Amino acid sequence: METLWEFTNTDRLDIWDEKIEDLNPWNILEEHPDNNPSNYKTLSINEFNELYIFYNSLDKNFIDMIGNVIEIGTGNLYGATGKFSLFSLKPTLEVLRIAKLEIKQIPDIKFFEFSKFSEENGWGNNFSKDKLKNMW
């Protein structure tokens, strides 16, 4: 899921948004008659089918964590956040709730202090996943 990491290190969030919505398990697993692989512009039919099978093999909590992490990134994508945003707070709290149930060791918030919400108009400074690799 390299596309998830692109959010922290791209200046082209419009392109990221299209790709990430196509990867969202909540979209792919949607049981609606109009939901079909041809609706996903950034995925081939084979990629869609592989993701559909993969997501169906996952625990519901893990699917919800992925969906909520995507919501955190997309919730304020085309609007300003100011000092506070319910669009990102609600899914963040849901990820935390699930993480407390499912993950043995949650990363310490201090590892993320280098990119503050107050920087870059609420986006924080860009960084690559390599910056976090050996932190915990």
Q: What is the pLDDT of residues 13-34, one digit of tens each?
A: 788 888 899 999 999 999 998 8
Q: How far apart are CA 29 and CA 68, in angstroms?
A: 15
pTM of the model: 0.78
| For helices 13-23 and 60-74, angle between their N-to-C axes, nearest 10 degrees | 160
Task: Give pLDDT tens digits for 52-100.
Answer: 999 999 999 999 999 999 998 888 776 666 666 788 889 989 999 999 8
The CA distance from 24 to 66, in Å, is: 7
H-assigned helices in the chain:
2-6, 13-23, 25-28, 45-56, 60-74, 86-102
